[in-house]
A and B are shown apart, each in its own frame.
Chain A
Amino acid sequence: MAALRRPLSRLAVFLTHGIGITISVIMVISILLLGFVVSNFAPFDPRRWNTAPKDQPPSTDKFIFGTTSIGQDVFWLLTYSIRNSIILGVVGSVVGLAIGGVLGLVAGYKGGMTEKIILTLGDTFIVLPGLPMLILLSTMVKKQLNMFLLGFIIAALTWGMPVRNVRSMVLSLREREFTHTAVFSGFNTLNIIASEYTPHILPWVAASFISRINMAIGMEVTLAIFGLSSLAEGTLGTMIYWALQYNAMLRGLWWWIFAPVGMVVFIVLGFYMLSGGVAEYLNPRTRLYRIATEETKEIESVDRSIE
């Protein structure tokens, strides 16, 4: 138990570091709970049509968020959609970050022609207007679209940005002392990258990972307006799509539209604040200050216990 105390206290410091972080952590945890825990308690598959009376407004006893025109319970559908959207977001974020990150590392470290080629390729994908490409691709694979495939497509279009960021980080790290030491010690390229650079790049990776989830979710929601998302799977985007198809707003079924729209805003806000908090927390400059204050507090508490 004592061994856990240090990392746990570090976590506690992080969580209470600022009001922004606390709020965002609460938001993210509630989102994850809704999507991955609560959704399992749905009495039936929320996607199925006609499982509930249609067009019911929200009520406290039966349908908390009301029902849709196709006979679905909005609340349970929402939790299910959250889960899918998050999976999609994470896949898109991780895969794109992995591809871009690795290529950026290689570009930064190798330099020369390799670097130029990788950069030009990456820049092309940055400049490429993502939406038309995304739509083109989704149209083609429409029938077999699932969360993972969609995530991969998003990753394929967004790997360009991490390349530049990681490369510039590597460039500055390359010049520092410990690189030369490692080279002289006989480490090869891969080793250097893995063992020496990764710890410095990790903070940026963590923050970028979180903000990319937002981007992926946003892209999916955008696809949905074109009816191109996976209509079968059920995401927040498709919820909005169906609500629009049935003119929910004009017919006064505001809950059907506002539940997913509000949820999207809630998710992106929560994740955005979290990524900002993580970036600030891991910022090397404030980190030293914080470590110093932590250690001072520890020493003080030890002193006090000795008295």
Chain B
Amino acid sequence: MNQSIDRLNDVLTTKGLKAYYLVKTLRGGTAAMVHAVDDVSITVHEGEIMGIAGESGCGKSTLAKALYGWVNPPLQIVDGSILYHTGNETIDILQVDADRLRQIWWNVVSYIPQSSMNVLNPTMRIKDQFLNVIKTHKKDYEKEEAEATIVKHIDELGLPREVTTSFPHQLSGGMRQRVVIALATVLDCNVVIADEPTTALDVIVQRGILQLLRKIQRKLNCTIVTITHDMGVHAQIADRVAVMYAGKIVELGPVQKVFGDAQNPYTRFLISSLPKVGDKSKKGSIGGKPPSLVRPPRGCRFSPRCPYVMEICRTTEPGYEEIDTDHFASCHLLG
């Protein structure tokens, strides 16, 4: 888990990313804009596991889809860039055409969707679903070679071989999740974006999934971006963690620092909600609920709920500063 992180090898960078949902009201007239991802700039280092945390509705799922390039109406990228740095080149996936994008998928970046129980075609054997993906994304496809690759991959990840000849309904929920992870990594993967990989699974199965993710990172040298509201997951496998609130990143840094010495009040609140062994202190919850992303509050978006709120918080948005090596935070309380 504590890999040495080479800061010079960044794999994915976003600059000022703005992704909004343009919603038409019932009357079919004026649109409303949901500021799901509002000016997000993050960098993902090669070979790390970057966690993106936050409550439901903070925009992290939208960020996941945007990072992958799965942008369909009513979702629109309004501003910013998403850059993938492969060995030879840097690609802004927001600028490429649909065909190029499909080439990039699964070769540069792959995606593990939410609720993976139901994403497998019920009438297709697992092996065939693998073959389809390989055939689509590998230039010179040969069936036997592909089949060998599949078997090797399955073994490497520790999945039983019978999985390949099964149909999805014959597998348990946890096994299906593992299959989807295997699917996402069967070709030489660079970046894997996993959206809520452990939600809806019980704790024991969760552990297995997390171990699998770590195995992928180590054995296959994948870079993983895990998006989940479950702070426990980030605590277990993330190298760095970014905390999102109301469409913005409020803190980003190495997991030790963020968990041990959070600089942003919201981060501190999230972390304190995690039960720790031996900690008998009362867990409080902050009143209120996440703000509307249609009309976000002026100034700092957390100000209506923040226990340390000051006058300036209500009027001006705090800046996003690097307060320590590779540790960023946004709050008026700082420096």
Contact = CB atoms under 8 A, between A and B. Distances in A.
Find out whether A and B make contact in their complex, taking CB atoms under 8 A apart as touching. Answer: yes
B230 to A, nearest CB: 32
B82 to A, nearest CB: 35
Nearest to A289: B26
B27 interface: yes
Contacts of A40: none
Interface in A250-307: 289, 292-293, 296
B30 to A, nearest CB: 13
A296 B27 CA distance: 8
Contacts of A292: 26
A83 B71 CA distance: 58
Interface string B1-31: 0000000000000000000000000110000
Contacts of B26: 289, 292-293, 296
B32 to A, nearest CB: 15
A292 B27 CA distance: 9
Interface in A42-56: none
Contacts of A296: 26-27
A294 to B, nearest CB: 10
Contacts of A293: 26-27
A289 to B, nearest CB: 7
Contacts of A289: 26
Chain B at the A interface: SS class: loop
A293 B26 CA distance: 7
A296 B26 CA distance: 9
Contacts of B27: 293, 296
B29 to A, nearest CB: 10
A289 B25 CA distance: 11
A293 B28 CA distance: 9
A293 B24 CA distance: 13
Nearest to A288: B26
B25 to A, nearest CB: 9
B28 to A, nearest CB: 8
A289 B27 CA distance: 9
A289 B26 CA distance: 7
Interface in A147-194: none
B26 to A, nearest CB: 5
A173 to B, nearest CB: 27
A18 B27 CA distance: 17
A96 B26 CA distance: 40
A40 to B, nearest CB: 46
A298 to B, nearest CB: 12
Nearest to A295: B26
Nearest to B25: A296
A259 B27 CA distance: 46
A289 B28 CA distance: 11
B308 to A, nearest CB: 42
B179 to A, nearest CB: 33
A296 B29 CA distance: 12
B141 to A, nearest CB: 43
B289 to A, nearest CB: 25
Interface string B263-278: 0000000000000000
A296 B25 CA distance: 11
Nearest to B28: A293
Interface string B199-241: 0000000000000000000000000000000000000000000
A292 B26 CA distance: 8
A176 B27 CA distance: 31
Nearest to B27: A296
A301 to B, nearest CB: 13
A49 B317 CA distance: 93
Nearest to A293: B26
A293 B25 CA distance: 10
Interface in B133-151: none
Nearest to A292: B26
B125 to A, nearest CB: 32
Interface string B22-64: 0000110000000000000000000000000000000000000
A293 B27 CA distance: 6
A287 to B, nearest CB: 13
A119 B183 CA distance: 46
Interface in A63-122: none
Nearest to A290: B26
B10 to A, nearest CB: 47
A41 B26 CA distance: 50
A285 to B, nearest CB: 13
B282 to A, nearest CB: 37
Nearest to A297: B27
B44 to A, nearest CB: 41
A271 B26 CA distance: 31
A31 B27 CA distance: 36
A53 to B, nearest CB: 60
B110 to A, nearest CB: 35
Nearest to B26: A292
A231 B26 CA distance: 56
6 contacts: A289-B26, A292-B26, A293-B26, A293-B27, A296-B26, A296-B27
Interface of B: 26-27
Interface of A: 289, 292-293, 296
Give 6 nearest A-B pairs by CB, closest first: A292-B26, A296-B27, A293-B26, A293-B27, A289-B26, A296-B26
